[in-house]
């Protein structure tokens, strides 16, 4: 199957969230991930005359699910949500868990359970395109806060992301990269920091980031092979190192 006409568009909502719209040009259909707000997403679809074939939810936080009902209702589209969030997302039409495979329109996804930020958090992996829709697990140069899960769980979730193919593109929900860059610089200035990426890699990252943000372009999607070199939370070599970093970041 020629998948050249499948692409992802970002719809910014709120202060720093992105809703992802996966578009199948041939069919004029799309899959939407984490519509925290309905109006910008509905407008986006209407302006392009695109039909909705389904909505994927990564976790129950309101900035990810707030617009779901209105968006799905407009198209009578199915809503996929984590089984472990059944109580928080009772209006989903299909609940998903580790190992499930979903076919939504022409897109196919595997479900990974990635606990830590929340207990029920899932990511959707599109193997054909090497796209990961990872909600609030990993960010540019950072990772999600631990609201429900343990350090162990989050560290394990990040290891799973690290093990994906090098060319993976990570579609994370927040534009936090610039703030996280400041944390990385602080970290590399510490004498006793146990986590050290290469300063030159970080400098290159900063240059590209400054260029993109200067042109009002998103830093998302992230390139996994680059994040693996510079993201301290992916560089952590043990749960202890990860916990140290997460605690330090929380104090900022």
Q: Which two tokens stand for residue 138?
A: 């990993």
* Nearest residue (beta carbon) to Zn ion: 61
17-24 and 6-13 beta bridge pairing: antiparallel
Any contact of residue 61 with Zn ion (CB under 5 A)?
Answer: yes
Closest contact distance (angstroms) between CB of 103 and Zn ion is 26
Closer of 37 and 136 to Zn ion (Cβ) = 136
Least Å distance between CB 6 and Zn ion?
A: 26
Shortest Cβ distance from residue 136 to Zn ion (Å)? Answer: 4
Using DSSP, state whether 117 is helix, strand or coil. coil
- Cα separation, 21 vs 19, in Å, equals 7
For Zn ion, the closer CB: 145 or 213: 145
Q: Which residues contact 190 (CB under 8 A, 6 or more apart)?
A: none
Number of residues located near Zn ion, criterion CB under 5 A: 2
For 2, residues 6+ apart whose C-beta sits below 8 A from its C-beta are none
Alpha-carbon span 85 to 66, nearest angstrom: 15
CB of 18 to Zn ion, least distance (A): 13
d(CA 84, CA 165): 27
- What is the smallest separation between the CB atom of 148 and Zn ion, expressed in angstroms? 10
- Establish if 121 lies at the interface with Zn ion (CB under 5 A): no
Nearer to Zn ion, 65 or 187 (CB): 65
Specify the residue, 136 or 227, whose C-beta has the smaller distance to Zn ion. Answer: 136
Peptide bond between residue 221 and the one before it cis (omega within 30 degrees of 0): yes
**Which segment (133-141, 160-168, 187-195, 224-232) binds Zn ion by CB under 5 A?**
133-141
Supply the minimum distance, in Å, between the C-beta of residue 141 and Zn ion: 18
- Answer yes or no whether residue 136 interacts with Zn ion by CB under 5 A: yes
Nearer to Zn ion by C-beta: 65 or 195? 65
Q: Which residue's CB is nearer to Zn ion, number 61 or number 246?
A: 61
Stretch that binds Zn ion, among 41-49, 91-99, 131-139, 151-159 (CB under 5 A): 131-139
Q: Which of 43, 44, 86 is nearest to 65 (CA)?
A: 86
Contacting residues for 179 by C-beta, under 8 A, at least 6 apart: 142
Closest CA to 96 of 81, 109, 108: 81
Residues lying near Zn ion in the complex (CB under 5 A): 61, 136
């Amino acid at each position: 199957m020629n998948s050249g006409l499948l692409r992802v568009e970002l719809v910014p909502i709120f202060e720093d969230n992105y809703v992802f719209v996966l578009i199948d040009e041939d069919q004029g259909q799309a899959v939407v991930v984490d519509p925290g707000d309905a109006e910008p997403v509905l407008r986006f679809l209407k302006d392009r005359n695109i039909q909705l074939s389904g909505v994927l939810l990564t976790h129950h936080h309101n900035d990810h699910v707030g617009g779901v009902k209105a968006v799905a209702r407009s198209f009578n589209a199915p809503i996929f949500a984590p089984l472990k969030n059944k109580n928080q997302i009772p209006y989903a039409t299909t609940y998903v868990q580790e190992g499930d495979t979903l076919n939504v329109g022409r897109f196919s996804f595997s479900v990974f359970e990635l606990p830590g930020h929340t207990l029920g958090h899932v990511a959707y992996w599109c193997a054909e395109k090497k796209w990961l829709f990872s909600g609030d697990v990993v960010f540019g140069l950072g990772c999600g806060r631990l609201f429900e899960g343990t350090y162990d769980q989050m560290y394990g979730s990040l290891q799973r992301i690290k093990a994906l193919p090098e060319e993976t593109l990570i579609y994370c929900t927040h534009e936090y990269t610039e703030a996280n860059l400041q944390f990385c610089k602080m970290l590399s200035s510490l004498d006793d920091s146990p986590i050290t990426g290469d300063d030159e890699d970080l400098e290159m990252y900063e240059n590209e980031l400054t260029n993109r943000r200067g042109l009002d372009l998103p830093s998302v999607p992230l390139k996994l092979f680059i994040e693996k070199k510079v993201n301290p939370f992916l560089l952590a070599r043990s749960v202890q190192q990860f916990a140290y970093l997460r605690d330090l970041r929380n104090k900022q």
